[in-house]
Chain A
């Protein structure tokens, strides 16, 4: 085989014990057509510089570990390929809007807390035990929430969201999509609990409708749509000032 092609990666470095701020470092790596940007980073770590620090695990775009800014766009490093950045150089940086722990590793604890505050779990409409068997849920009923259930918590949408950049209190796209995922599930009865989150200033009203979050989502979750659905519901609640108990769940969609 002929000499492998080479590409230069310009990687953002930051070590809190040593650096006063982020800096850039260049590495040149050989690559083949199948190599992802993540594999480029792994090549650097294995052969050129073991101190380069980044998260990864599944290397197949499902665990959500490896988000970073690649040529300025939020991407999963394992899901984009060096072939598409040739001849380079390609710039790899930590995800925007998060504090950096080291190099490409961001501090995601804020998001993990938000997941809890939006009650992103099923709050059963009625108590059941395994002896009662499964709920019936038609494929159509599932379709109501299914897209929102595809979120891998990769945080690319947060890096895309200017509002989150300015106001880190904002619950943000993925957390609100997951909130909506359970609100639209006909097995769930946790609506009212989640309304408090939605209506708060950090809830849906933080969103200024940029929509970039949905564009960058690698899993087609469309968090912007989830937020909009909730804005409609929240506005109605604000105007009416009361809640009609007999209303079917899911009625406030779009």
Chain B
């Protein structure tokens, strides 16, 4: 075998989304001499962050407070947040939003030129910075373009990171494949930041971009890092059936209503009413996402949904707002509905249903982004910093990318200067070992079609680890995932065996990662015998159980027969668990 190409640097950032770019910039700013390699399987501005529409949280108004943001986050997270980290988080959000403004982000403004902040589900006051209905797009392009100013950041666009290189308990680089040529490249560095995003594509119905397949989580897990709180998966209640394209909360904020087959605003039947006055925060259609998704499930079970070619749906009705208001306030959604659902919201309700939106769990980190593996850092959706708890609040994750992206970038830069480097021979051996099984995929003569295996994964997860879970369904899901792992071991048969831009090959590697992540989700969910936040059971464990389960879940890799689950304490500083209440019941409570 010919020698593998090697790139020596000080820090590798894997991922060019909001978190990865923020981390790379922070590292380059702190230490301009540092050689930062930014490795991403897509050109950074194609990253999934681009699709976020709503907003990014940061206290901005006189009548708001850090305590307010803290309380909303911890309550929303059903007290599974690490409160020390939340405190640090809320304290740093606003400075990050300002920093982004100074880099050129076109945040929406008031008439006098000051920043505008708006309401967003779960937040009790206006706290979300936004850039029209393209917040993530503007944030990502601002970060990407700003990154061009730092000569220390060397981009490796369209390089697929296949594995971490770990020697003697410390990270010393990554193995990547240059997608265009299919050639392996060994990046050596004493510090690696994983910023690879979430894993929503583990499910069939999801709002996520195609690249959100969980490799970062899977890579860390494969090297012994236990993934944390993986059972907490957020559904977004209003997405287009089939494609999963998101119809933002903004529609409901403007006064849009959800009705069932009979035209009834069914959310009033699930403790979210009364219906009037409308719109008002934290009630009816502006209740928390988990409650809305659960209500859909009941309506569906009761046969009160409508059938579409892409599955059952309820109706998001905007018609009463009138054409002028719809076109003025919701132009993007109008466009999306017309094109992607083939309906005009001015005259017809939009069919919507819940889809997987966000993975709360991930690689556990401390407040500096350090993971429990020497030299490894994580930020963004792939990380579990402890701020989301059992349920993420809308607009906290874009803020998280910035706050923890920066923290991880800085901490990793420091680490990179102090850590020792590995010997050449060690790196070559590690990279060669990591590469071999990946090349094997190209040689398989026998096996199943990727789309078939992926379809099976989606079926298992939707059925057994869905909006509602129960012991029997979770047992079945764990078993079925193990069986799928066996089938995968039997081989994937690729049509494409060549090296040049072989996306089928990459998809196979993504699928392996997705399956690994899915198992941690199913096993973690089974072990949590209570209901909390986004993890809701409809068996004997349908209540929150603070006595036994006010704990984080850790899914360790295990010995090959599935993850091993451990529960560890949550950090509580000043907010003790209370009931989460919404609708009339919740009015007046924090």
Contacts and interface: CB of A to CB of B under 8 A. Distances in A.
- B and A form one assembly: yes
Interface of A: 1, 15-18, 32-34, 36, 39, 45-47, 49-51, 53-60, 62-65, 79, 81, 83, 101-103, 105, 107-108, 112, 115-116, 120-122, 124, 128-131, 133-139, 141-142, 145-146, 149-150, 152-153, 178, 182, 185, 187-188
Given A53-B503, A63-B45, A34 B109 contact: no
Contact of B501 (A34, A36, A102, A187): A102
Contacts of A101: 180, 500-501
A34 B114 CA distance: 41
B342 A136 contact: no
B46 interface: yes
B348 interface: no
B46 A63 contact: yes
Q: Is the interface of A mostly helix, strand, loop or mixed?
A: loop
Nearest to A137: B113
A127 B471 CA distance: 59
A172 B408 CA distance: 37
B573 interface: no
Interface stretch (B100-108, B120-128, B219-227): B100-108
A133 to B, nearest CB: 6
A50 B494 contact: yes
11 contacts: A15-B498, A50-B496, A53-B496, A53-B502, A54-B503, A59-B209, A59-B245, A60-B245, A63-B48, A101-B501, A136-B112
B148 interface: yes
Nearest to B496: A51
Contact of A130 (B50, B95, B104, B157): B95
Contact of A47 (B141, B146, B336, B451): B451
A135 B97 CA distance: 12
Contacts of B1: none
Give the residue among B113, B449, B451, B494 with the most A Cβ atoms within 10 A.
B113
Contact of B149 (A33, A49, A121, A145): A121
B340 A51 contact: no
Given A51-B504, A57-B211, A134 B106 contact: no
A185 to B, nearest CB: 7
Nearest to B182: A17
A178 to B, nearest CB: 8
Q: Is the interface of B mostly helix, strand, loop or mixed?
A: loop
Contacts of B146: 121-122
Interface string B450-466: 11000000000000000
Contacts of A182: 104
A34 B500 contact: no
Contacts of A133: 98
A146 B98 contact: no
A7 B48 CA distance: 30
A34 B342 contact: yes
A141 B111 CA distance: 10
B434 interface: no
A44 to B, nearest CB: 11
B496 A58 contact: no
Interface residues of B, number: 61
Contact of A60 (B109, B138, B340, B504): B340
A58 B48 CA distance: 7
B485 interface: no
Contacts of B210: 56-59
Interface string B199-234: 000000000011100000000000000000000000
Contacts of B503: 45, 53-54
B42 A57 contact: yes
B137 interface: yes
Given A17-B500, A59-B245, A121-B104, A50 B109 contact: no
Contact of B340 (A16, A34, A137, A152): A34
Nearest to B115: A134
A159 B141 CA distance: 22
* Those 7 A-B pairs whose CB atoms lie nearest each other, nearest first: A50-B495, A136-B113, A122-B104, A46-B451, A51-B496, A121-B145, A102-B501
A120 B149 CA distance: 9
A79 B243 CA distance: 13
Contact of B111 (A39, A138, A145): A138
B209 A58 contact: yes
Given A121-B149, A130-B98, A79 B51 contact: no
Interface in B464-502: 494-496, 498-502
A149 B45 CA distance: 13
Contacts of A50: 449-450, 494-496, 504
Given A138-B111, A141-B113, A124 B102 contact: yes
B101 A53 contact: no
Contacts of B42: 55, 57, 63, 65
B495 A49 contact: yes
Contacts of A115: 145, 148
A112 B109 contact: no
A188 B210 CA distance: 35
B339 interface: yes
Given A134-B115, A136-B112, A139-B111, A188 B104 contact: yes
A43 B404 CA distance: 38
Nearest to A47: B451
Nearest to B46: A63
A135 B105 CA distance: 11
B115 A65 contact: no
B309 interface: yes
A152 to B, nearest CB: 7
Nearest to B451: A46
A146 B106 contact: yes
B570 interface: no
B310 interface: yes
A116 B48 CA distance: 22
B43 A112 contact: yes
Contacts of B112: 136, 138
A76 to B, nearest CB: 11
A122 B144 CA distance: 11
A1 B308 CA distance: 11
Contacts of A124: 102
Contacts of B137: 62, 152
Interface in B41-78: 42-43, 45-48, 50-51
Contacts of A103: 501
Given A121-B148, A142-B109, A185 B504 contact: no
Contacts of B96: 130
A192 B471 CA distance: 67
A1 B46 contact: no
A130 B450 contact: no
B99 interface: yes
Contacts of B495: 49-51
Nearest to A136: B113
Contact of B109 (A46, A47, A83, A138): A138
B106 A149 contact: yes
A46 B449 CA distance: 8
B50 A135 contact: no
Contacts of B46: 55, 57-58, 63-65
Contact of B43 (A16, A108, A141): A108
A120 B109 contact: no
A100 to B, nearest CB: 10
Contacts of A149: 106, 138, 141
